[in-house]
Amino acid sequence: MKISVLGSTGAMGGFVIKAALQEGFIIQNRVSSKDSIDNLFKDSDAVIDFSCPIATESMLRFAIENKTDIPLVIGTTGLSRMHVDLMKEYALSVPVFYAPNMSFLIAIVNMAVYAISKLLGDDFDTEILDIHHRLKKDAPSGTAIMLGKTIARARGKNFSQVADFVRYGIIEQRKRGEIGFAVQRCGNVIGTHEISFMGEFENLKIRHEAHSKEIFAKGAVQASKWIIKQPKGLYTMNDFTKDLMDPMVKSLYKEFFTSGCDFDRENQ
């Protein structure tokens, strides 16, 4: 499989190239965020993008204007609604994969957060803590936003109406259903996300820590192998993991509820 990498000189670009070569891929084109993207799509089966919002926008506009038919895997963070709209336009004829976090474990966390939010509803206050290294430019992270949107969707709420990004000075009493965000940018933290569900008498926290950017690169490479087999459309990690996780989850909960109270079996 031949791929091109946009953002090839960045840290993530280097990890993507390493992971792709380990899979036996050919790196067809290496393009930095500051280079011209005229040759990015040339002779490639897919393009993996870990660049910056400006470069991602240029790539998408070039792809649309030149009617290229090369699938995209986009992991760039800090993208706006405009970028997503461009993805949707290109995805009318070509498969596009977009995920702010390519970690399979984060996909599992996101699914667990949805289930917990659905079960608890608004009875538990919810906070999301986002910790990254000092060089990260966007805040909150794309992963934190994704998790917040998952919580809002599980509760049947409009994310923009329940998300609280700023707390300063004298603030009003916390609103029911509010999703609070806290951001730390310090040291060389790869990425930590903690979701807290805080009740009157008990609390629950889910914490994910990334210890290497390689997990995102490997996820992107796996996504590129998957996306080239898909029909046109815009895809996310939920689509990527659905076929694997859907039967697994159904089997898991079936086993749990049928044998969870079998004390005789536990004592054997």
Which residues does the annotation mark as catalytic? Answer: 132, 136
Identify the CA nearest to 39 among candidates 29, 24, 47, 49.
29
> Between the CA atoms of 223, 226, 228 and 231, what dihedral angle is there, to the nearest 10 degrees?
-110
Residues 6+ apart with CB under 8 A from 237: 99, 101, 102, 106, 107, 110
Three-state secondary structure call for residue 73: strand
Alpha-carbon gap, residue 217 to 61, rounded angstroms = 24
Rounded to 5°, angle at Cα 241 from 238 and 242:
75
